[in-house]
Structure 1
């Protein structure tokens, strides 16, 4: 089997997906530890059986709807490649908006102390640390050891050593810090919602937020008030604006603003306390 044969095999096998050739190229590049340019300049190169079988195993995983990010242990966010495994939620492009808002907030309000609830793969805290020109002190919690491992790997990869990890529910670890800003991309899907098959590979605790879906969002708001945070920046479901608006009315705060994603859907909120 040549590289061209392998790509044709992948294209035929992954026909159910939107970009079968691109995904075949990504998986073959990963199997060979080569870039995609190498594939295009070596179409007629014959492959050793080991690499053929490895590539076919990747193709089979993808046919079974396993996300390509988990197969390759790589996900792109803000133009950087992060480590990702099944133990952490795959970052979505929409989360880049949260990073942008956080950076602007940090600059305008001289924010230095930040907490992240549910750090997952670490992409939010890491990118905020990389992109901000302030000396930040970040504490991040997660209940999942697998997610914390993902975050640790990425912290080491990007040398963002101003992030301290805590295995903790919400901010239960905190007895001494006062945070200017709390950020989170928590679970906010209601428990009985039927999701695409690919999402079955992602950690369910990072997806489902309760019988209604907004339960953890509300807990984070209450925790932020208890922690006397200045700001809370949080992602939410596209249909949860009214629920959050009504909930925050029962608590003292200065203002709440909602932001939209690139599709024009409500995607998150910023509360100033």
Structure 2
């Protein structure tokens, strides 16, 4: 099998995807450890049997709609490449907006002690740590999933973020006394029993479903911030949960509540100041 024949094989197998040729090339370049441009300049080069078999196995995984990020074990977020594997939610571009909002709060309000609930692969806290290297920030991040924490650990080591402490814990159960200036979360917020697309079935369900209504964890995070006297909270949410957040915070004496939108103009998160 030549490089061109391999690309054609992948294209035919992945014909139901939006970018069959591109993804075939990405997977083959990964297997050969070569840049994609190499494939085009060496299209008649023969691939050895080991790489042929490896490539075919990856193509079959992708054909079953397994996310390519899990296959490659890497994902791009905020101009950086992070480690990702099954057990951690794949970061979405929309979460970069949450990072921007948090970065502004950290800068303008001089936040130093920051908590994150549901750290996942660690991309939020790590990106903020990298954006504010000159500040004496401390991050304390929790997750109930050991697999997600493994992803976060690998990424903290990769980016040398020694100011991030990880906890296998729900919410802020790991620490009942420390004061935090800012609480961050991209929690599960999909309503239970919602039918998801095939690719989402590969992602950790506990990182997706937020309860019978979908907003239960969002409400709990807000309540925790209120009880713990955390002045600022930034959360990602579902596009149809604005009214739920408005109703829940109505009697909590919040100073301000702002919603922010994603690139499609849909509600995607909120910022609360207590």
Q: Tell me which interval the TM-score lies in, with the shorter structure as reference length.
A: over 0.9
SS at match of 2:179: coil
- Name structure 1 gaps, 5 residues minimum: none
Shift, 1:175, TM fit: 2.5
Residue correspondence of structure 1 range 64-143 to structure 2 within 5 A:
64-132=64-132, 133-143=134-144
2 CA distance for matches of 1:60 and 1:134? Answer: 46
Residue correspondence of structure 1 range 184-195 to structure 2 within 5 A:
184-195=185-196
With 167-176 and 260-269 compared, the bigger mean Cα shift is at 167-176
SS at match of 1:119: coil
Q: Look up the match of 1:153.
A: 154
1 CA distance for matches of 2:156 and 2:199? Answer: 27
Residue correspondence of structure 1 range 187-206 to structure 2 within 5 A:
187-206=188-207
Q: Look up the match of 2:60.
A: 60
Shift, 1:194, TM fit: 0.5
SS at match of 1:237: coil
Residues 236-259 of structure 1, C-alpha deviations (whole Å, 9 max, x = no match): 000000110111012121110000
Q: Is 1:242 matched up with 2:243?
A: yes
2 CA distance for matches of 1:37 and 1:112? Answer: 44
1 CA distance for matches of 2:200 and 2:137? Answer: 33
Q: Look up the match of 2:253.
A: 252
2 CA distance for matches of 1:44 and 1:161? Answer: 47
SS at match of 1:271: strand
Aligned residue-pair number: 273
Shift, 1:28, TM fit: 0.7
Shift, 1:176, TM fit: 2.8
1 CA distance for matches of 2:169 and 2:4? Answer: 49
2 CA distance for matches of 1:226 and 1:43? Answer: 63
Runs of 4+ more than 6 Å apart:
none
Shift, 1:96, TM fit: 0.2
Shift, 1:76, TM fit: 0.5
2 CA distance for matches of 1:163 and 1:179? Answer: 14
Q: Look up the match of 1:231.
A: 232
- Name structure 2 gaps, 5 residues minimum: none
2 CA distance for matches of 1:34 and 1:229? Answer: 48
Shift, 1:26, TM fit: 1.1
- TM-score, normalising length: structure 1: 0.99
SS at match of 1:209: strand
Q: Look up the match of 2:23.
A: 23
Q: Look up the match of 2:179.
A: 178
Shift, 1:188, TM fit: 0.1
Residues 150-198 of structure 1, C-alpha deviations (whole Å, 9 max, x = no match): 0000000011110000110000011231000000000000001101010
Cα root mean square deviation, aligned: 0.8
Shift, 1:31, TM fit: 1.2
With 136-145 and 33-42 compared, the bigger mean Cα shift is at 33-42
Residue correspondence of structure 1 range 161-176 to structure 2 within 5 A:
161-176=162-177
Shift, 1:134, TM fit: 2.0
